[in-house]
Amino acid sequence: MCGGSACLREAFTDANESSQYSYIFPGQGSQAVGMGLELYQSSAAAKAVFQEADDSLDTSLSQLIFHGPADVLQDTVNSQPAIMTVSIACWRAWQEARGADTTVPMAVAGHSLGEYTSLVVSGVLDFSDGVKLVRERGRLMQQASQWRPGSMAAILGLDEFTLEQVCAETGVELANINTEDQIVISGDKRAVARAMDLSLARGAKKAIPLQVSGAFHSSLMYQAQQGLQEAISGLQLRDAQIPIIANSTGCPIHTADQVREELIRGLCQCVRWKASVEYMVGAGVSHFVEFGPGRVLSSLIKRIDRGVQAVTISDPEGIKKLAQGPA
């Protein structure tokens, strides 16, 4: 656990004390053909991000993002760098629009892949290194899924304790604790199917199979974890300029060593998004700004705590609406 309320406040002493904002970044599954195109056409800062991604990866990622085909964009090796690129483009376009008035957030956080985007925003990684790292992460995850096939399912309306019992009985694992009543499980395909049936028998409202290529955030990603460790070892990571709320604990991390450990273990561990949001709210965050495609995280935050505000910036209209605000 992270500690009491005093500890929560101390964790953010390096951030702008007048800020009550957190910047958050979506994970895989938010991709869609055409995302970010309006920003590319309207913002010089966003356009530069897409160009940097293309140059860094030595491929026309931007054309795949803007024009598809959708099934190729859907591939993990493509969707992960694509979502990071669009998220950073949204953030840079926002900075361009706000200029010197841009608020320094109390913290940054991202859901799974989005955690890597938060590293760029917090200064741990340059964008060029970040987009290359997430492409390699996606490649490793896709490869691990072929070696050890698996699946994932969202369980709605069942508490964490009961679902932990279901996991123990079926051999699946908790992958994402998104809200109190939305938890994702991961594991062997047959085991996930049994866990879905058992969850419904134990009172779950729904058990929804997810359209993913593997058992992400489970022990079936062990081989990917080993490859990722090697990839990260070749990177120069910096200490964070803004506290990062870690997926695996829901607590802040600051140093390059802490980030390295978090990334390596993250592929096989549960994403504790609910705990992350609750930590930030307890520390004084009252406004969340989601940069990137879709509105998944903003929707989850509103279900976790109705007392905070959450908005999404994914296009020029979103920037325009918030351009006069304090964020």
179: β partners: 182
Angle between helices 113-121 and 256-266 (to 10 degrees): 160
Strands of 309-313's sheet, edge to edge?
A: 252-253, 244-245, 107-110, 21-25, 287-291, 309-313
Active site residue 111: no
| Token digits of residue 59 | 């491929």
Number of other CB atoms surrounding residue 14 within 10 Å: 16
Phi-psi region of 149 (alpha: psi -120 to 50; beta: other; left: phi over 0): beta
Distance CA 155, CA 157 (A): 7
The helix (H) or strand (E) run that includes residue 257 is helix 256-266
* Rg of the chain in Å (alpha carbons): 19
177: β partners: 183
Which single residue is written with the structure tokens 């593997």?
Answer: 214
Active site residue 217: yes
Phi-psi region of 317 (alpha: psi -120 to 50; beta: other; left: phi over 0): alpha
Give me the DSSP letters along 129-181: HHHHHHHHHHHHHHHHHHHS--EEEEEES--HHHHHHHHHHH--EEEEEEETT
Distance CA 33, CA 21 (A): 30
Catalytic residue among 22, 118, 213, 217: 217
Which DSSP symbol is given to 220?
A: G
Which single residue is written with the structure tokens 């020029």?
Answer: 316
Catalytic residue among 112, 122, 186, 276: 112
**Residues designated catalytic:** 112, 217
